[in-house]
Amino acid sequence: MKVFKFGGASVKDAEAIRNVGSILLRFEHEPVLVVVSAMGKTTNKLEACLSYLLAQDQLNYYHTVDELRDFHVDIAGELFHDEHRKVFTFIDDLFEQLKNKFEKPLAEQRSFEYDQVVSLGEVLSSFIINEYVLEHGLKSEWLDARRLIRTDNHYQEANVNWEKSEALITARLETSIHNTNTYITQGFIGHTAEGFTTTLGREGSDYSAAIFAFCTNASEVTIWKDVPGMLNADPKYFENTQLLSQISYREAIELAYFGASVIHPKTIKPLQNKGIPLFVKSFLAPDEPGTTIQSEGGNDHLIPSFIVKKNQVLITISSADFSFINEDALAKIFEIFYSNRIKINLMQNSALNFSVLVDGDKVHMESLLGKLSPTFKCKYNEGVELVTIRHYNQSTINQMISGRDVLLEQRSRQTARFVIR
Ligand code: ASP
Ligand code: MG
């Protein structure tokens, strides 16, 4: 089995979906399991719906739900004839149910409601795409990841139960219709033992592809992107980017961890554990080789990579009474970050200070400071950038930081990191 993943940009409109169909037709004679994301910006829109729902803002809720329904109906209208009632009925029913949610009592837990609402984008896209490829001659089946990927009930960032998922997926594939070669399913979503829908964290569809690959012992995974493969820098901000044609799992995990947004950081581990190679290729140029990620690391050092994370907040924490930031104080600080689900992008300590860097758009500073303030004093700088250079040398460092104000720096043998403004 091969596993393919198509992200939101690759299914953003009717033309993009036709292109996905043409790629899948190339593989019509071999088993392929296809994981798709929600179309275009659907997930963001569903997040907006959820906010209106929680705020009990009926006008905006209905308006946003309708916009999203029209978006899907328009795409379906371009892909199918009116007679293809199955797709239009599916879309109508799903949005009808979403609308009706407004009248119903809400669960106390926000993250539970999040998962029930925001998971729907993938359900829609996978259904539409499956019907589309069926019409174009592929022997395809729709798989419901809400029956196959088993997770705990850590809503919005659920943890996978590997054994259960493997058993469920294997059993489901055994019952598949004779002759099926293509399976289309959803990224990003799973379910709890009680049957409630969960999500795996934003941008989690890559991870879903890795979960399906792990559970089916796939021969390879391909992530189809709108870039030629993994590049050594984000082409949105850098000229003359270079393709990393062969890198190791380790290198890919480091790059993803430092913020290269090409693949979700959780994707690599399950693939590495089973030695399943990962290809990152362009859906616009499917014949190009793209990037291969596997165990061999001989080429990792050849090309320096540059990763810039903007909109960071550098927080410096010190004890209120001039005592050391010792292990006890660190444990308290980590507990606050952990329980508030705030990820730390970089940290550094001295006798009296502990500095951490966090994503500005994911942290509510006032509430965080409120939690730290009884025990600690805090200072912070907003709007700073984190620059990471893998396989650096002096000239690459100069290129990135000259003329900038460096607030903090860290170097290991492979990696140099700078907080700059
Ligand atoms: N649709 C989800 C998101 O936008 C998952 C994904 O695309 O990977 O976060
Ligand atoms: Mg995506």
Ligand 1 pocket: which of 5, 68, 202 to mutate (most atoms within 8 A of CB):
202
Q: Is residue 245 part of a domain?
A: no
Q: Is residue 275 part of a domain?
A: no
Q: 413 CB contacts (<8 Å, ≥6 apart)?
A: none
How are beta strands 346-349 and 353-359 bridged, if at all? antiparallel
Q: Is 115 in the pocket of ligand 1 (CB under 6 A)?
A: no
Q: How far does the centroid of ligand 2 lie from the alpha carbon of residue 225, in Å?
A: 9
With contact defined as beta carbons under 8 Å apart, do 294 and 277 qualify?
yes
Q: What is the pLDDT of residue 368?
A: 94
With contact defined as beta carbons under 8 Å apart, do 75 and 13 qualify?
yes
The protein residue with its alpha carbon nearest to ligand 1, atom 3, reads 203
60 with 187, same domain?
yes
Torsion angle (degrees, nearest 10) of CA 290, 292, 298, 299: 20
The protein residue with its alpha carbon nearest to ligand 1, atom 6, reads 203
The protein residue with its alpha carbon nearest to ligand 1, atom 8, reads 203
- Chain-centre distance for alpha carbon 413: 29
SS3 106: coil
Q: Is 202 in the pocket of ligand 1 (CB under 6 A)?
A: yes
Beta bridge partners of 199: 189
Q: Which of 5, 35, 2 is nearest to 225 (CA)?
A: 5
- In the chain, the number of structural domains is 2
Q: Is residue 44 part of a domain?
A: yes
191 with 319, same domain?
no
Ligand 1 pocket: which of 6, 11, 37, 50 to mutate (most atoms within 8 A of CB):
37
Q: How far does the centroid of ligand 2 lie from the alpha carbon of residue 203, in Å?
A: 5
Domain boundary among 164, 197, 218: 218
Helix (H) or strand (E) run with residue 378 in it: strand 376-390
User: From CA 161, how far away is CA 54, in angstroms rounded?
Assistant: 30
Q: How far does the centroid of ligand 2 lie from the alpha carbon of residue 47, in Å?
A: 14
pTM: 0.91
Q: Is 203 in the pocket of ligand 1 (CB under 6 A)?
A: yes
Look up the domain containing 362 and give its range: 305-420
Ligand 1 pocket: which of 5, 126, 188, 197 to mutate (most atoms within 8 A of CB):
188
Ligand 1 pocket: which of 41, 43, 117 to mutate (most atoms within 8 A of CB):
43
185 with 332, same domain?
no
With contact defined as beta carbons under 8 Å apart, do 206 and 187 qualify?
yes
Domain boundary among 188, 218, 248: 218
Q: Is 204 in the pocket of ligand 1 (CB under 6 A)?
A: yes
Q: How far does the centroid of ligand 1 lie from the alpha carbon of residue 200, in Å?
A: 9
Q: Is residue 255 part of a domain?
A: no
Q: Provide the b/e sequence for 337-368 (b: ≥16 CB within 10 Å).
A: beeeebeebbbbbeeeebbbbbbbeebeeeeb
Question: DSSP letters of 221-289?
Answer: EEEEESSSS-BSS-TTT-SS--B--EEEHHHHHHHHHHT-TTS-GGGHHHHHHHT--EEEEETT-TTS-
214 with 315, same domain?
no
Task: Give phi and psi for 401, each to the nearest 5.
Answer: -115, -5
Q: Is residue 260 part of a domain?
A: no
Q: Is 188 in the pocket of ligand 1 (CB under 6 A)?
A: yes
Q: How far does the centroid of ligand 1 lie from the alpha carbon of residue 152, in Å?
A: 19
Q: What is the pLDDT of residue 187?
A: 98
Burial of 88 (0-12, 13-18, 19+ CB in 10 A): middle
207 with 329, same domain?
no
Q: What is the pLDDT of residue 331?
A: 96
Instruction: Say how many C-beta atoms besides its own lie within 10 A of residue 173's C-beta.
Output: 18
Question: DSSP letters of 393-409?
Answer: -HHHHHHHHTTS-EEEE
Q: Is residue 157 part of a domain?
A: yes
Q: How far does the centroid of ligand 2 lie from the alpha carbon of residue 123, in Å?
A: 15
With contact defined as beta carbons under 8 Å apart, do 186 and 126 qualify?
yes
Q: Is 251 in the pocket of ligand 1 (CB under 6 A)?
A: no
Q: Which ligand is nearest to the CA of 203?
A: 1
Q: Which amino acid is at 392?
A: Y
Q: Is 190 in the pocket of ligand 1 (CB under 6 A)?
A: no
Instruction: Say how many C-beta atoms besides its own lie within 10 A of residue 105's C-beta.
Output: 6
197 with 317, same domain?
no
Q: How far does the centroid of ligand 2 lie from the alpha carbon of residue 128, in Å?
A: 18
Q: Is residue 259 part of a domain?
A: no
Q: Is 40 in the pocket of ligand 1 (CB under 6 A)?
A: no
77 with 178, same domain?
yes
- Ligand 1 atom closest to 38 (CA): 1
Identify the CATH number of the domain in which residue 113 sits: 3.40.1160.10
Identify the CATH number of the domain in which residue 343 sits: 3.30.2130.10
Domain boundary among 194, 218, 242: 218
Per-residue pLDDT of the chain (421 residues; tens, 9 = 90+): 999 999 999 999 999 999 999 999 999 999 999 999 999 999 999 999 999 999 999 999 999 999 999 999 999 999 998 778 899 999 999 999 999 999 999 999 999 999 999 999 999 999 999 999 999 999 999 999 999 999 999 999 999 999 999 999 999 999 998 889 999 999 999 999 999 999 999 999 999 999 999 999 999 999 999 999 999 999 888 988 999 999 999 999 999 888 777 789 899 999 999 999 999 999 999 999 999 999 998 999 999 999 999 999 999 999 888 888 899 999 999 999 999 989 999 999 988 999 999 999 989 999 999 999 989 999 999 999 999 999 999 999 999 999 999 999 999 999 999 999 9
